[in-house]
Amino acid sequence: MQVSVYLDHAATTPMLPTAQRVLVEHLSRTGNPSSLHTAGRAARRVVEESRERVAASLGARPSEVVWTSGGTEADNLAVKGLFWARRTQDAQRRRLLVSAVEHHAVLDPAFWMAEHAGAELVLLPVDADGVIELDALRAELEAHGEQAALLSVMWANNEVGALQPLADVVALARRHGVPVHADAVQAVGQVPVDFAASGLDAMTVSGHKVGGPGGVGALLARRELALTPVLHGGGQERGVRSGTLDAALLASFSVAVEDSVATRVEHAAHVSGLRDALVAGIRAAVPDAVLRGPADATRRLPANAHLTFPGCEGDSLLYLLDSAGVEVSTGSACQAGVPQPSHVLLAMGVDEDDARGALRLTFGRSSTAADVDRVLEVLPAAVDRARAAGLAGRRSEARPAAVRRSGTSPAGVR
């Protein structure tokens, strides 16, 4: 019987038993939290108790928790809502500053704002570890700080696990009156996250990254922060985010946040030990594999291992490992069916060929030492096969088109 190993917890992680129980319990109840009858008031109580639970776990006030459908909506609300609000207050605030390694939930709305809403998008560079260049940020703010509408820098990178120096980022931005948003969906439950202590103006969290259900998240936003709504309707969530709230999802999400934060220290020790064993084993078995992101374990997420394998296509490695019962991620985007190298790795200065050979392996609460052993058992053969396939493909591409075998696709098309 084939062993099944799941090492893609950064993409989504199994629900915690407590979150499952709460979800099932509340799914049997009826009531719109905006209704005034008994059932509606009971649902509203669940919503507000969940808000208090999330706020207490993340160092925020309950009034600062704005419910959303997940991390993507929260990021969009932060980027668009902050930009539009700042432009209304001060027409010269047109510059939108984001790090070059942000999740697409931040990058894509930022590019959309540049194309459709008059924003001047500035992509801030990172170093070879994927960490924002503070000198570049300082220079940008000193030159154009009075024109900056907002700054978005993620708490921890979802691909290479790099922790960003948010204290320094916030300190620089505050000198110029620029609000700072951070996508913290990967950080909660792995590293200490305290909204008030961070000095951030807005912060994104998501349910399915911390052992809660999918389809639910929150934007933590300072009460005095002006936000223009992205969704319009019934005026829920202090008029910032309209839409009927799902009490069951919120209750389950809040319990998952509470539990993941309460057990963070033990969890981090568990997954970092597995991660370190895996990285050491891969380096011994595949000596030319390169660990991406900070080598210093204190500067990266404890559950994250991201490596590139020279001469391999990450997608080929993924499928070969999947056929052996090991589920991982490449960390790269796929547009129109054509694999593209990770924008994160390219921003870090990794060349395109090396970036294509990326694998992201991320641990969770269900991960075991046996998972590490299984990866190390099947990975070397997968790398050998991927390299052989890549070499054969490069030889095929080197032939004149007229001598290629009939029916083969053009290079790069799959």
Is 25 in the same domain as 69? yes
Is 62 in the same domain as 121? yes
Given this model, what pLDDT does residue 49 score?
98
For residue 165, give the amino acid letter.
P
In a domain, 5, yes or no: no
Answer whether 286's CB lies under 8 Å from 384's CB. Answer: no
pLDDT at 413 over 50: no
For residue 362, give the amino acid letter.
T
Given this model, what pLDDT does residue 377 score?
98
pLDDT at 405 over 50: no
Given this model, what pLDDT does residue 409 score?
29
Given this model, what pLDDT does residue 390 score?
74
Is 218 in the same domain as 93? yes
Among candidate residues 152, 156, 151, 178, the one with its CA nearest the CA of residue 299:
156
Last residue within a domain, chosen from 262, 280, 311: 262
In a domain, 411, yes or no: no
| Catalytic annotation, pick one of 297, 333, 334, 391 | 334
Answer whether 101's CB lies under 8 Å from 163's CB. Answer: no
- For the sheet with 120-124, list strands across it: 65-68, 217-221, 202-206, 180-183, 148-152, 95-99, 120-124
pLDDT-based confidence at 2, cuts 50/70/90?
low
Among candidate residues 346, 305, 406, 354, the one with its CA nearest the CA of residue 100:
346
Mean pLDDT of 110-123: 98
In a domain, 8, yes or no: no
Is 154 in the same domain as 240? yes
312 is known as an active-site residue: no
Is 290 in the same domain as 232? no
Last residue within a domain, chosen from 197, 227, 262: 262
Please report, rounded to a whole number, the percentage of residues in the chain having pLDDT higher than 70.
92
**Count of the separate structural domains present in the chain:** 2
Is 222 in the same domain as 281? no
Given this model, what pLDDT does residue 395 score?
57
Given this model, what pLDDT does residue 337 score?
52
Last residue within a domain, chosen from 232, 262, 292: 262
Mean pLDDT of 30-59: 97
Which residues form the domain of 158? 17-262
3-state SS class at 378 = helix
Is 233 in the same domain as 271? no
Among candidate residues 95, 162, 156, 146, the one with its CA nearest the CA of residue 124:
95
Is 244 in the same domain as 295? no
pTM of this prediction? Answer: 0.92
**CA 218/CA 213 separation, integer angstroms:** 13
In a domain, 256, yes or no: yes
Q: Which two tokens stand for residue 156?
A: 């921890």
Is 348 in the same domain as 220? no
Is 194 in the same domain as 278? no
Q: What is the pLDDT of residues 176-206, one digit of tens each?
A: 999 999 999 999 999 999 999 999 999 999 9
